[in-house]
Amino acid sequence: MCYTSRVAALRSNEGERLRHILERAARVICQQGFEATSMQEIAAACGLTKAGLYHHVKTKEALLLAIMHYGMDLFEELVIDRVSGIPDPLERLRATMARNVELVTQDSSKEVTIILHEHQTLTGDAQREINERKKRYVRFLEEALREAIERRLIRPVDPTLAAFSFLGVVLWTYKWYRPGGRLAPGELASGMTDLFFDGLLPR
């Protein structure tokens, strides 16, 4: 299924209601952590009774899975779909970093934060589903890196090591960045891209 249409599917009436639940639930889980948050608190945050919440999601784990899919949908719509058509692999990588930093530093980052923080909370098939979508992003980066190496646009680094270093720079942001501080999201995006591609040493 195309991820953009998955987000679009949430724009129907029932979809709109579910999206509202996922966003409210994400906010409270993001603040308190998944284990420490009860379905009662999530229902209250959504303006629903507990029975009303269970009408939409069968279990707390199913709710977490739905939030993570929604976060991956947002990520793919706002990052991947907008950069995957860039033919130059180096420009594609730069644009991916800039857009991903911006996503993590905006308010819509709460679903993404949950994907990152609760990386060992899901189990079984649910964990495999989300891990498969995450791995697709790692492969997307590795392929762009390989292509850039072949075209001698970048140095012959290990693509896996470079992909995870790229992700480290970008995704660690959720741990320390607070909006309204000295560095605006745009400055962070351009500063990190400059640093990662050009390195610390003078040229």
Which of 84, 161, 179, 184 lies at the binding interface for a copy of itself (CB under 8 A)? 161
Distance CA 103, CA 98 (A): 9
**Tokens read off for 148:** 């850039």
Distance CA 36, CA 118 (A): 12
8-state DSSP, 3: H
- Residue the block writes with tokens 């594609």: 92
> Which of the stretches 1-9, 18-26, 50-58, 154-162 binds a copy of itself when contact is defined by CB under 8 A?
154-162
Distance CA 19, CA 115 (A): 16
List the x/- string, 167-196, binding to a copy of itself by CB under 8 A. Answer: xxxxxxx-xxx----xx---xx--xx-xxx
Residues numbered 35-54 forming contacts with a copy of itself, rule: CB under 8 A = 35-36
CB of 184 to a copy of itself, least distance (A): 11
CB of 192 to a copy of itself, least distance (A): 6
- Residue 150 as a binder of a copy of itself (CB under 8 A): the answer is no
